[in-house]
Amino acid sequence: MSTTLPRWIDVGLLPLINILAAFIVSGVIIALIGENPFTALTVMLKGAFVYKGALGYTLFYTTNFIFTGLAVAVAFHAMLFNIGGEGQAMLGGIGIGVVALALGGLVPPVLVVLLAIPMSALMGAIWGIIPGWLQAKRGSHIVITTIMFNFIASSIMVWLLTGPMLREGQISPESEHFADGVLLPQMHTLFNAMGMEMARSPLNLSFVLALVMSVVGWALIWRTRLGYTIRATGHSEKATIYAGHSPQKIIMITMAISGALAGMMALNEILGVQQKVILGFTSGYGFTGIAVALMGRNHPVGILFASLLFGALYQGGAELDFEFQNITREMVLMIQGLIILFSGALVYMFNPMLERIYHRLTRGNALTQEEGA
Amino acid sequence: MADLWLQFILTIDATFRVATPLILCAMAGIFSERSGIIDISLEGKMLMAAFTAATIAALTSSPLLALGAAVLVSVVFSLIHGFACITHKGNQVVSGLAINILASGLTVTLGIAIFSQGGQTPYLSGDQRFSSFDLPFAEAARSVPILGTIYAELISGHNILVWVALVSVALTGVVVMRTRFGLRLRAVGEKPEAVDTAGISVTILRYQAVVIAGVLCGIAGAYLSIAHGAGFVREMTAGKGYIALAAMIFGNWRPLQALYACLMFGFLDALAARLQGVDLPYLGQISTDLILALPYVLTVVFLAGFIGKATPPAAIGTPYVKER
C-alpha cells in the first residue's frame, strides 16, 4: 500500500500508535475484569526493568525474540512467510542435545559448545530448507507447510523425550543433564570475573551472539549480492530470472538462513540455561518472532526495539502473577495477540487518518509561509 | 473374533467423536477459503467458543443458551478477521495468527477472572450439557450380531452435535456446490474481479463467508466443552483447528472429500488412543506420538503433489482492490 507520509511517521509514529491501540484495548479488558490497568502497567514496568536482576531477565527473553524475529524478517524479504520458527527452534534444540550428549565428557566442554552452536543452526536450516524446497520445486504453500512442520517437529520432540532421549529413571519428558561445563557462560559470571557487579540472571553469551547475528543479518540483506537477489526475488521473480538467478535456489537458500536463525534460538534456552533438552522450551517464541519482524519493519534495528518490548512484556508479565490475584502471565499472550492484530493485520488502519491530519498541518504551514511572503 | 469386531466398532465410534469438531471446522474453512480468505484462526475461534459455551452453561445451566453464546462470540472473532482482511486488506495469515494468540490469552485471563480456578471452568453436570442419547431399540438390537452391534454402539449413543456436524457437510455441499450463493462464493475466491464486474459486492460476499465460518467454529467449540467434554480447560482445542485446516486441504477444499479426511485423521487419533501401551503381535509397541503426526505428514505429502494434486482457490490470500 502506498503512503504519502514522510518516513519518520511511517516507521516511527505509526508503529507507536498501533502499540498504543493494543495497550488501550488491553487496558479496557483489565478494567473490565476489575483491576486497575495503570497499576498493572506499573507492576510490569518495575518487573521488567527496576528490580534487581530484572533487566537481565528482560534481555534474556529479548535474545529469543531477536533470533526468531530475524528469522522471520530474512524470509519476509523474499516474500516468504516462515511461520515455522517454533519447529525450527525445536530441531535446533535437538541438534544441541545430540552433540552435547554424544560428545560431553569425551572432548573438552569448550569444543562441545563450539560444535553445538553450528549444529543448532544446521538443524534449524534443515527444518527450513525442506518447506523451502517444497515451495520452490513442488509449489506447496510455505505457510501451510511450515505450520505442519511445527506439529511434526513437536511430535518428534515428544517421541524423543519420552523414548530414546528420556533420562533414565525420569518420568517428566527431559533428556540427561549435559556434562559439566557444557554451557554458554552466563553474563553475570563473566562480569563478576572482570570485577564488575551484576545481579544473577539467566542472561548468557547468546545475547551477544544475537547482536552479532543482527549485524550479520543487516549486512547480508543490504550489503551483499545474495541479499540483493533475495530482495529482488521478493519484489519480482521474473526480474530475478531475467537477471540470471534462479528464484527456486534463492527461495531455498533464504529458508535455510531463516531456519538457521530460528534454530539458534535454542542456544539461549538449552545451552544457556537448561543444560538439558526439555519439552516445550520454545513456548511460542517462534510465533512471537512474526510480531517482532512486523513491528520492526524487517529491519534489524527495528527488530532489536521490538524484541526489547516483547522481552519486557514477558518478564514484566511474570511479575503480574505475584502482584495480582486476578491477572496472570497469560495476560501477556492477550496483549501480544492484540499487538500482532494492530501492528500486523490492521497496520494501515490509522494511515488515512494520519494522512489527513498530516496534510492539513503541512498545508497550514505552507499557507502561513505564503501569507508571510 | 467377536471381541475384535467389537473393538473395531468401538474405535470407529470413537473416530466420529474425535472427528466432529474437525468436520465442523473443516466446513468453516471451506466457506472462508473458497471465498478467498485464508483462515488459520479456526483454532482460536473454536477455543473462544469452547470457553464461552462452558462459561454460559455453568452460569445459566442452559446448553442451548451456551451454544448460542458460543456461536455469537465466534462470529465476533470472524468479523474481526473480516475487518482486518476484507475492509483493511491486511495480511490474512497474520490476522489469523493474532486471533489464535489472543484467544489463548483471553480465555485463561477471563476464566481466572470469572471462576478463579486457574483458567478452568467448573465441572458441568448432565443437564448443563448436550448429553448423548440412545436411539430407540438400541438395547434390544445389541443381541443381533454385526448389524445390531453397529446400531447399538456406532449409530446410537451420540450427542446431538455429532449429528449436526454430519448434517453440516451435506448443507455445505449443497450450498457451496448447488446454489447461486455458492456459485458466487466460489467465483469470488477464483476471480473476484469477474464477480465485481457482474455488479455483486466482493466485500459483502466475503463477509458472509467468514460469518458462516464463525457459526460453524462456534458449534465446534461448544461441542468440545459442553457435549464431548464437561467444562473448559486451558488450550482445550490443542491444535484441532490446525488438523481441521489440514483435513480441508487434504480434501482439496471440497466438502465430501474433507469429511473423509476428517474421518481418517479422527481414526488415526482414535487408533493412537487405543494402541497406547498395547503390545501388538510382531510389531511390539507402536509409538503413538508418531501416529499422531501422520495427519501433518500426509498433508505435506499431498500438498507437494506426491499423491493427487492440490488445487486451492486461485485468489486465496489476496485482498481485492478495485481498479481505479
CA distance A208 to A187: 10
A159 in contact with B, Cβ within 8 Å: yes
CA distance A329 to chain B (A): 9
CA distance B194 to B191: 6
CA distance A286 to A292: 10
A319's CB contacts (< 8 A; 6+ apart) are: A43, A44, A46, A47, A48, A51
With an 8 Å Cβ cutoff, are B98 and A287 in contact? no
Contact A335, A343 (CB under 8 A): no
Of B80-89, B250-259, B292-301, which gets the smallest average pLDDT? B292-301
Would you tell me which residues 246-275 of chain B have a C-beta closer than 8 angstroms to some C-beta of chain A? 246, 249
What is the number of other CB atoms lying within 10 angstroms of the CB of residue A51? 13
With an 8 Å Cβ cutoff, are B84 and A345 in contact? yes
Contact A275, A26 (CB under 8 A): no
Grid look-up 536482576 returns: A53
Extract long-range pairs of B273-282: CB within 8 Å, 24+ residues apart: B273/B14, B274/B7, B274/B11, B274/B14
Grid look-up 520458527 returns: A85
Residue B158 phi, psi (nearest 5): -105, 160
CA distance B256 to B251: 8
Contact B271, B11 (CB under 8 A): yes
Crossing angle of helices A330-340 and B92-115, rounded to 10°: 150
Contact B3, B144 (CB under 8 A): no
Asked if the structure places residue A47 within a domain, the reply is no
Contact B304, A140 (CB under 8 A): yes
Buried b / exposed e along A2-26 (16+ C-beta atoms within 10 A): eeebeeebeeeebbebbbebbbebb
Mean pLDDT of chain B: 89
Residue of chain A whose Cα is closest to the Cα of B39: A144
What are B158's strand-pairing partners?
Answer: B133
CA distance A254 to A146: 14
Greater pLDDT, A117 or B310:
A117
C-alpha dist (Å) from residue B159 to A276, B61, B128, B135, B195:
45, 17, 13, 11, 41
Residues of B in contact with A158 (CB under 8 A): 289
A155 in contact with B, Cβ within 8 Å: yes
CA distance B81 to chain A (A): 9
Q: Output the DSSP codes for A215-242.
A: HHHHHHHHHSHHHHHHHHHHH-HHHHHH
With an 8 Å Cβ cutoff, are B100 and A337 in contact? yes
Q: Nearest-CA neighbor of A285 among A4, A26, A93?
A: A93
Residue of chain A whose Cα is closest to the Cα of B299: A148
Give the fold, CATH level 3, of B2-303: ABC transporter involved in vitamin B12 uptake, BtuC (1.10.3470)
CA distance A303 to B144: 68
User: What's the average model confidence in pLDDT over B272-300?
Assistant: 80
DSSP state of B83: I
Would you tell me which residues 86-105 of chain B have a C-beta closer than 8 angstroms to some C-beta of chain A? 88-95, 97-105
Contact A257, A121 (CB under 8 A): no
Residues of B in contact with A143 (CB under 8 A): 38, 40, 93
Domain count for chain A, please give it. 1
Q: Nearest-CA neighbor of A82 among A135, A149, A143?
A: A143
Residue of chain B whose Cα is closest to the Cα of A135: B304
Residue type, A284: G
Asked if the structure places residue A39 within a domain, the reply is no
Is it the case that residue B14 has pLDDT exceeding 60?
yes
Give the residue ranges of DSSP H helices in chain A. 7, 14-32, 37-45, 54-77, 85-103, 109-138, 142-162, 187-193, 206-223, 225-235, 237-242, 247-266, 285-295, 300-323, 330-340, 351-372
With an 8 Å Cβ cutoff, are B98 and A34 in contact? no
B151's CB contacts (< 8 A; 6+ apart) are: B135, B137, B138, B141, B144
Across B61-170, the runs of DSSP E, i.e. the strands, are: none
Residues of A in contact with B292 (CB under 8 A): 155
User: A182's torsion region: left (phi>0), alpha (psi -120 to 50) or beta?
Assistant: beta
pLDDT digits (tens, 9 = 90+) for B130-184: 888 777 777 777 777 778 778 877 787 788 899 999 999 999 999 999 999 999 9
C-alpha dist (Å) from residue B205 to A35, B211, B236, B249, B275:
41, 10, 32, 22, 46
Greater pLDDT, B275 or A268:
A268
With an 8 Å Cβ cutoff, are B102 and A349 in contact? no
Asked if the structure places residue A284 within a domain, the reply is yes
- Domain boundaries in chain B? 2-303
Q: How many CA atoms lie within 13 A of A220 on its CB side?
A: 22
Contact B221, B239 (CB under 8 A): no
Residues of B in contact with A144 (CB under 8 A): 245-246, 249, 299, 303
* First vs last C-alpha separation in chain A: 37
Question: Sign (positive/negative) of CA torsion A259, A262, A267, A270?
Answer: negative
Asked if the structure places residue A140 within a domain, the reply is yes
CA distance B306 to chain A (A): 9
pLDDT (0 to 100) of residue B23: 96
pLDDT (0 to 100) of residue B324: 55
Q: Nearest-CA neighbor of A335 among A318, A304, A310?
A: A310
Asked if the structure places residue A273 within a domain, the reply is yes
A144, A150, A158, A331: best to mutate for the B interface, most B CBs within 10 A: A144
C-alpha dist (Å) from residue B120 to A137, B175, B232:
46, 37, 6
pLDDT digits (tens, 9 = 90+) for B173-213: 999 999 999 999 999 999 999 999 999 999 999 999 999 99
B38 in contact with A, Cβ within 8 Å: yes
C-alpha dist (Å) from residue B282 to A163, B285, B290:
20, 9, 18
Q: Nearest-CA neighbor of A210 among A119, A285, A303, A276?
A: A303
The number of angstroms, rounded, from the C-alpha of A79 to the middle of its chain's C-alpha atoms is: 18
Contact A65, A306 (CB under 8 A): yes
pLDDT digits (tens, 9 = 90+) for B96-141: 999 999 999 999 999 998 988 888 888 988 888 888 877 777 777 7
Is it the case that residue B294 has pLDDT exceeding 80?
yes
What are A104's strand-pairing partners?
Answer: A107
User: What's the average model confidence in pLDDT over B59-71?
Assistant: 94
A134 in contact with B, Cβ within 8 Å: yes
With an 8 Å Cβ cutoff, are B104 and A332 in contact? no
pLDDT (0 to 100) of residue A338: 93
Contact A251, A241 (CB under 8 A): no
CA distance A135 to B40: 19
Cα angle: A28, vertex A31, A37; to 5 degrees:
85
Size of interface A-B (CB pairs under 8 A): 150
* First vs last C-alpha separation in chain B: 71
Under DSSP, is residue A296 helix (H, G, I), strand (E, B) or coil? coil
Residue of chain A whose Cα is closest to the Cα of B101: A337
pLDDT (0 to 100) of residue A13: 84
CA distance B17 to chain A (A): 22
User: A262's torsion region: left (phi>0), alpha (psi -120 to 50) or beta?
Assistant: alpha
Asked if the structure places residue A249 within a domain, the reply is yes
CA distance B116 to A52: 31
CA distance A147 to chain B (A): 8
Residue B280 phi, psi (nearest 5): -90, 145
- The beta-carbon neighbor of A145 closest among B293, B300, B306 is B300
Instruction: For chain A, 373 residues long, give each residue's pLDDT as a single digit of tens.
Output: 456 778 888 777 888 888 899 999 999 999 998 888 999 899 989 988 988 888 999 999 999 999 999 999 999 999 999 999 999 999 999 999 999 999 988 899 999 999 999 999 999 999 999 999 999 998 888 888 999 999 999 999 999 998 888 887 777 888 888 888 888 988 888 888 888 888 888 999 999 999 999 999 999 999 999 999 999 888 888 888 888 889 999 999 999 999 999 999 999 999 999 999 999 899 889 999 998 998 888 999 999 999 999 999 999 988 888 888 778 888 888 998 999 899 888 887 888 888 888 888 887 666 555 554 4
Full domain range(s) for residue A152: 66-298
Grid look-up 475466491 returns: B189
